[in-house]
Chains A and B, each alone.
Chain A
Amino acid sequence: MTALRMARILTECGARVKVVHEGASLVVRGLGVEPVGIRTGYASQEITVRSGDNTITRMMSMGPHGVNHRLDHAMRALAVQVSQGGMSAEAVEHEIDRLVKETPRHPLWLVALAVGLACAAFGRLLGIDWLAFGPVFVGGGLGQAARMLLLRRGVNSYVVATVIGFVASALAGFGSHFLDSGTVNLSMMAAILLLVPGVPITNAQTDIMDGYPSMGSARAVSVMMVMIFATTGVLIAEWFLGMH
């Protein structure tokens, strides 16, 4: 179960399936058993290990998928440490608990500020004018803050995509229109770029290339779903602002 937990956390942090399997295998070997097989799905994972003539299979369900670079690399370092031997399963579990609890995360205000700036910068790359820069920054930043609060309350991630798509694009569209920007439509689209799941998109492709087409396809479908729900939010915002 320790190796399975490592695999689960790595997947939830946005690691590729190949990395997840390598991490789990390092832990399994470090604990003195041999991995027979690991299966990673979008919603659950299974592992079979062998010790002498005995084999055992365990399964674990997956939590929400996200991206957490620092926890991902802390887990990888732990997997390498475990593979060198000398740690008991209890000690590894304790260390995993500690890392999950203590690995730092940026505060909400900083993430909101950074994402707002990223959306506005993305907008400039797409061609929004300077008048729309501020509204996209505000829409993207407030959208990200609201997104984090909703996800913490356990709201379905696709519903969150629609709500945030609406909030961010309505704020950016209203602000840009108010400031007489010539790129109102583009600014509405730029403000929802925080919802575009860039890491899962590339992971989907890499997983398929690495020989895990089922996980790759599941990731691609979830990306499509997020985009459909986010675009629905933009459409509602366009109606709300009288653009139809």
Chain B
Amino acid sequence: MAFAPPDILYLLHQIVFGALAAAGFGVLFNFGLRSLLWCAAAGALALGVRTLGQDVHWSLEAASFVAAVVTSCVSTMLRRPLGPRGNAVALAGCIPMVPGAFFGQALLGMLAVTTPHPENAALILTSTEYFLRVFFTLAAIGAGLAIPAHLFRNPDF
């Protein structure tokens, strides 16, 4: 397979909006102002890695898993400045990867299937595909965050 260089503008776009989404949700989760910067950095890292993974034709699930692993590992390595916040910052960084829109579309699709005259069988297939993607992507993010946290235990409480 020929290697194609990543589209830098698209990569930057994903990094910037990943950082914004993570920091925005960090405010909702009541992170302090300094921690919000770490949330933004974690979001940028997670989305950057996921985008690069998808660029080399990994599935969304695989790319999300690797992005979560990398984010969790980096937050563990930055134990000194982050302290016990490391896991929470890594989690906030991975929030922009949660496939909430797929989840909603899957549920809407399932509702459409239950109407008296569903449009076609493709609807069932699409909804099922969305559900499976949601399930496996969430599992990938959760496992990606948890595995490094368990392997490199943070002694801070």
CA distance A195 to B98 in the complex (A): 12
User: Quick check: B104 and A234 within 8 Å, CB to CB?
Assistant: yes
User: Quick check: A121 and B21 within 8 Å, CB to CB?
Assistant: yes
**A175 CB, nearest partner CB in chain B, Å:** 18
**A125 CB within 8 Å of chain B:** yes
Which residues of B10-58 are within 8 A (CB) of A? 13-14, 17-18, 20-32, 35, 47
User: Quick check: A106 and B30 within 8 Å, CB to CB?
Assistant: yes
Interface string of A80-121 (1 = CB under 8 A from B): 100000000000000000000000011000110011111101
CA distance A190 to B17 in the complex (A): 13
Question: What DSSP secondary structure best describes chain B's contact surface?
Answer: helix
CA distance A156 to B85 in the complex (A): 31
User: Quick check: B157 and A23 within 8 Å, CB to CB?
Assistant: yes
With A67-B29, A76-B157 known to touch, is A118 a contact of B20 (CB < 8 Å)?
A: yes
Residue from the set B17, B29, B96, B100 with the largest chain A CB neighbour count within 10 Å = B100
User: Quick check: A202 and B108 within 8 Å, CB to CB?
Assistant: no
A111 partner, pick from B28, B47, B111, beta carbons under 8 A: B28
Given the complex, which residues of A lie within 8 Å of B18, measured CB to CB?
Answer: 121, 125
Interface string of A11-53 (1 = CB under 8 A from B): 0001000010011001000000000000000000000000000
User: Quick check: A196 and B29 within 8 Å, CB to CB?
Assistant: no
With A14-B29, A235-B108 known to touch, is A125 a contact of B96 (CB < 8 Å)?
A: yes
How many residues of A are counted as interface, with CB atoms below 8 angstroms from the partner's CB atoms?
A: 53
Given the complex, which residues of A lie within 8 Å of B108, measured CB to CB?
Answer: 231, 234-235
CA distance A114 to B23 in the complex (A): 8
User: Quick check: A235 and B88 within 8 Å, CB to CB?
Assistant: no
**A150 CB, nearest partner CB in chain B, Å:** 15
User: Quick check: B104 and A202 within 8 Å, CB to CB?
Assistant: no
CA distance A90 to B22 in the complex (A): 39
**B91 CB within 8 Å of chain A:** yes
Given the complex, which residues of B lie within 8 Å of A118, measured CB to CB?
Answer: 20-25, 27-28
User: Quick check: B104 and A227 within 8 Å, CB to CB?
Assistant: yes
Given the complex, which residues of B lie within 8 Å of A163, measured CB to CB?
Answer: none
A122 partner, pick from B88, B96, B103, beta carbons under 8 A: B96
Question: What DSSP secondary structure best describes chain A's contact surface?
Answer: helix
Using CB atoms, name the residue of chain A closest to B50: A125
CA distance A111 to B91 in the complex (A): 19
**B139 CB within 8 Å of chain A:** yes
**B98 CB, nearest partner CB in chain A, Å:** 5
User: Quick check: B29 and A125 within 8 Å, CB to CB?
Assistant: no
Interface string of A211-236 (1 = CB under 8 A from B): 00000000000000001101100110
List 27 A–B pairs whose Cβ atoms lie within 8 Å, in order of A's numbering.
Answer: A23-B157, A67-B30, A69-B26, A69-B85, A70-B32, A73-B88, A106-B27, A114-B24, A116-B24, A118-B20, A118-B25, A121-B17, A122-B17, A122-B21, A122-B100, A122-B101, A125-B14, A198-B91, A198-B95, A198-B98, A201-B138, A204-B142, A205-B142, A205-B143, A209-B146, A209-B150, A234-B108
Q: Please give the residue numbers on chain A whose beta carbons come within 8 Å of chain B beta carbons, in ascending order.
A: 14, 19, 22-23, 26, 67-73, 76, 79-80, 105-106, 110-111, 114-119, 121-122, 124-126, 144, 186, 189-190, 192-196, 198-199, 201-202, 204-206, 209, 227-228, 230-231, 234-235
